[in-house]
Structure 1
Amino acid sequence: MNSLPKPSQLKNETSEPGSNKRGTLAEGSQNGVLAASAQQIAAFLAAATSDNTRRAYRSAIRHFLEWGGLLPADEASLIRYMAEHAGKLNPRTLSLRLTALSQWHKHQGFPDPCSYPNVRKILTGITRVHAKPKKKARALVIEELERIVLYLSEQSDIKAIRDSALLQIAFFGGFRRSELVGLRCEDVKWESEGITLLLPRSKTDQAGEGIAKAIPYGDSSCCPATALKRWLSISGVYTGAIFRRIDQWKHVGEQALHANSVNKILTECAAAAGLDYVPEFSSHSLRRGMATSAYRAGASFRDIKRQGGWRFDGTVQGYIEDADQFKENAMHSLLRQKK
């Protein structure tokens, strides 16, 4: 594999132009200050991009290099790369790879070969020829969640108690899986009407201003606040990560669950509860299900968007349209039996 070119080093600019004086710091101290400054700047640059985006970009760069590409790349190599993977990669994946390569060139100070007209035009052509419908996670609606919660309530082990709390908090809080596993005991505020969960940072709040989500107490089979209180009490977790790993001997660990574990927990619980379409579920099914179920129950668009922490109206509108595809269907007038 070809190694990435090293980024340019910061120059020593502590002395004023035209001056031979180097300041009052000794040379070793100056080098230490410059090294610390470089590390700090690198940390700020890294913080400007989310962890998920950085991982996706690193994977894209690695894929290009393993294919045999060189960095910095040229237009011809990009076109060969695109042509070879046109039928193998989803066009959306290929577009992401090009975005990663484009960002690498810009940040390293090289001309961006992805901006050439032929590269963009070929990508458009590949999209038209090989485009596939975007696969959506099936919404887990409230009735299905209730079946899972009922099943888990009949189990006596600590894992079932954790899973019930996790799935209910994820659903009614509209949490992304990364947000869910990142919740800490210190983020929970117990109120007379329910609980408030503070997200110090989320996908739509990269600046870290904080997002608070309120979940009322429930009076049916589902009550996320009660489920959470039971989990914290029986697990003895009072500080740090709320949702933690449980080993084969039913011991609660110190480490938080990995985000990928949410998918596994949901599908295992759904299968055990006897739900259909289990392969179509993912952690995103909980957020989609919350929006779908809340809309069907009469919640407003504004309130649904706020609970899920969605940035764009179009995302929420898509969930609502899926929920309404049978209720508000023009074919009812044609298929309704005449009396």
Structure 2
Amino acid sequence: MATPEPADNGAENNDAHPASALHSAVTAVDAVLAAQHRAVLAAATADNTRRAYRSAVNHYLAWGGVLPADEAAIIRYLLTYAPTLNPRTLALRLTALSQWHVHLGFPNPASTPTVRKTLTGIARTHGRPKKRAKALPIEDLERIVVQLVSAGTLKATRDNALLQIGFFGGLRRSELVAIEVGHIGWTPEGIEIMLPRSKTDQLGEGIIKAIPYSDGPCCPAAALRAWLDAADIMAGPVFRSISKWGTVASAALGVGSVNTILEDCATLVKLDYVLDLSSHSLRRGMATSAHRAGADFRDIKKQGGWRHDGTVHGYIEEASRFEDNAAGSLLRKRVKPA
């Protein structure tokens, strides 16, 4: 009798292939999910914060530090830069190093009691006042507006619209340059600008800034319409660069351009505090000028989009230093002897 042939193992091999394919598919899905997870983790941190953290970590590495770090290296790094860097800058870099270790699952040497106490000691030894941008009062903005309107150039028309919208909208520079034509609504009372995302709206729920019409020296809505018409902008970014030949770009201005435009315009009208100005001067100026004009605290906070009451109270205090002043109350009642 013939010996039976061994069973064909092809079935076993065929059974193995689906398992291998399934494993590959699962691995591919895991890779996709891992990439999605990294993306949403990155989205949980604001872009500006992420850039600041990346810069801080790079600074530590350029100094000669290695990652993961240990407590001794972190302390040497802090002490090296204590005499030259603002303690607030060191605190930010320490936070960035801490986040790096936590995010990657390493022990966190940047949060030990010794490191934190070292930073406190540096702050007490080397601390100095925080440099704040000077508020641009509405009176000086009006001087700038008059000068720009009289110039009548395309650039002056753009700068006039940008400064007025930034000031009366209480906008951050990132919000200002991100405005697109589709974000603007024209109403009988004024304009409404929809901010798809801002520092205090990281989830993208949208914030509406309303700016009324005015018959005074400043009218942001009229200035904006004049710019859009002059530049023939129908869609896309509102504020754009202009070449020396008068060609309007298709892309939005960079955030750094806001500082430059404000400084150039302040120089044009010979303000004596140009070096103290930055884009934040527009927001501060709106808050302090609105308080002097009798605006309600809640309305000032809402227009500027500030999250914390303390920030707005600081601006109000700045605006009323000589009004709510105990020394002034005494001095105004004193009369020189005849």
TM-score by length of 1: 0.91
Shift in Å, 1:247 = 1.1
CA distance in 2, matches of 1:165, 1:62: 38
Q: Which has the larger radius of gyration?
A: 2
Structure 1: segments with no counterpart, 5+ residues: 1-19
Partner secondary structure for residue 212 of structure 1: strand
Aligned pairs for 1:1-339 (under 5 A) are: 26=22, 29-336=25-332, 337-338=334-335
User: Aligned-pair RMSD on alpha carbons?
Assistant: 1.6
Deviation at 1:137, TM superposition (A): 0.4
Secondary structure at 2:326 match in 1: coil
Secondary structure of 2:214's match? Answer: coil
**Whole-Å Cα distance in 2 between the matches of residues 168 and 294 of structure 1?**
14
SS of 2:210 mapped into structure 1: strand
CA distance in 1, matches of 2:62, 2:55: 10
**CA deviations over 1:119-163 (Å, ceiling 9, x no partner):** 011100000000000111000010000000000001121000000
Name the aligned partner's letter for residue 139 of structure 1: A
Shift of 1:117: 1.0
| CA distances 1:92-141 after superposition (whole Å, capped 9, x unpaired) | 00000000000000000001001211101110000000000011100001
CA–CA separation in structure 2 for the residues paired with 1:318 and 1:21 = 70
How far 1:39 sits from its partner (Å)? 2.0
- Of 135-144 and 324-333, the range deviating more from structure 2: 324-333
Distance 1:217 1:93 in 2: 42
Give the Cα–Cα distance (whole angstroms) in 2 for the partners of residues 31 and 322 of structure 1: 60
1:30 Cα deviation (Å)? 4.0
Structure 2 residue ranges without an equivalent (≥5): 1-15
- Cα distance in structure 2, aligned partners of 1:288 and 1:323: 10
Deviations along 1:242-276, whole A, 9 cap, x unmatched? Answer: 10111111110011000011000000001001212
Distance (whole Å) between structure 2 residues aligned to residue 91 and residue 152 of structure 1: 41
After superposition, what is the alpha-carbon deviation per residue over 1:311-330, rounded to whole angstroms, capped at 9, x for unaligned? 00000000000000011111
Shift in Å at residue 297 of structure 1? 0.2
Letter in 1 for 2:165: I
1:217-265 Cα deviation digits (max 9, x unpaired):
0111100000001111111111111101111111100110000110000
1:32 deviation in Å?
A: 3.6
- TM-superposition CA deviations, 1:164-200 (whole Å, max 9, x none): 0000000000000000001111100000000000011
Higher helix share goes to which structure? 2
Secondary structure of the residue aligned to 2:193 is strand
Aligned partner of 2:157: which letter?
A: I
Q: Distance in 1 between matches of 2:232 and 2:21?
A: 52
Closer, same or farther: CA 173–74 of 1 in aligned 2, 3 Å? same
Instruction: Using the TM superposition, give the Cα deviation of residue 335 of structure 1 relative to its aligned residue in structure 2, in angstroms.
Output: 2.0
Q: Which stretch shifts more, 40-49 or 160-169?
A: 40-49
Q: Summarize deviations over 1:27-57 as a string: whole Å, max 9, x none.
A: 5544443332222211111110011001100
Q: Which amino acid aligns with 2:164?
A: Q
CA distance in 1, matches of 2:104, 2:230: 52
Deviation at 1:25, TM superposition (A): 5.6
The CA distance in 2 between the partners of 1:295 and 1:123, in whole Å, is 37
Q: TM-score, structure 2 length as denominator?
A: 0.92
Q: Between Structure 1 and Structure 2, how many residues are aligned? A: 320
